[in-house]
Structures are given as structure tokens and as C-alpha cells.
Amino acid sequence: MKLIFATGNRGKLKEAEEILTSFELISIKEYAPSFDPVESGNSFLQNAIIKAEAAQQECPGEIVLADDSGLIVDALDGAPGIYSSRFSGRRCNRQIK
């Protein structure tokens, strides 16, 4: 079964492939190279839903999978949290080109 994974992050794609071995995972970037929804949620769950809904619009009729994750550091009062990917700047994100 094919799943469209709403990520451009090679590391996340590889990890998901290692876990979901019964599925063929395809990056959303293969369908929509400029896919970059605004993650305006207030939680990891809300941002994952935003990405899933945006991916479904890009790939109607396909099954999509989305996630959101980040670092929650007690010494930083939970920061950077949902802002983890932007915490050290855009150049530090590993995106599939």
C-alpha cells in the first residue's frame, strides 16, 4: 500500500520507512515540490493536522501521513517545542530537494 508522507525531511522519511515496512512511502515533494504549508498550530498535533490536510489537497484520492515533532527542553521551559525546526535557522533544516 502506498502512503504519501507530508514531509520533505529525508531523515523523517527514512525513519518512517524503517518502521512502516509494509508500506511504500513517498515524499509529498514528489507530488508537490513546493509543498510548504504554514504550520500555524499551537501544538505538534495541530501542525500535523495542518500538514495532513494540505497534503490531501495536493494528492486527492491518496492516503496521506503527516507528523510534527520537535525538542521540548525542561531547562528552556519546554522550548523550542513547535519552533524546533526554526530554532537554529532555516539553513539547518534538511529538506529533500
What the block records as the C-alpha cell of 34 is: 513546493
Enumerate domains of the chain plus CATH numbers: 2-92 (3.90.950.10)
For residues 15-39, give the mean pLDDT.
Answer: 95
77 vs 43: which has the higher pLDDT? 43
Helix, strand or coil for residue 46?
A: helix
CB atoms within 10 A of CB 59: 18
In percent, the amount of the chain with pLDDT more than 90 equals 70
In terms of pLDDT, which residue wins out, 24 or 79?
A: 24
Is 36 in the active site? no
Give me the catalytic one of 67, 68, 74, 77: 68
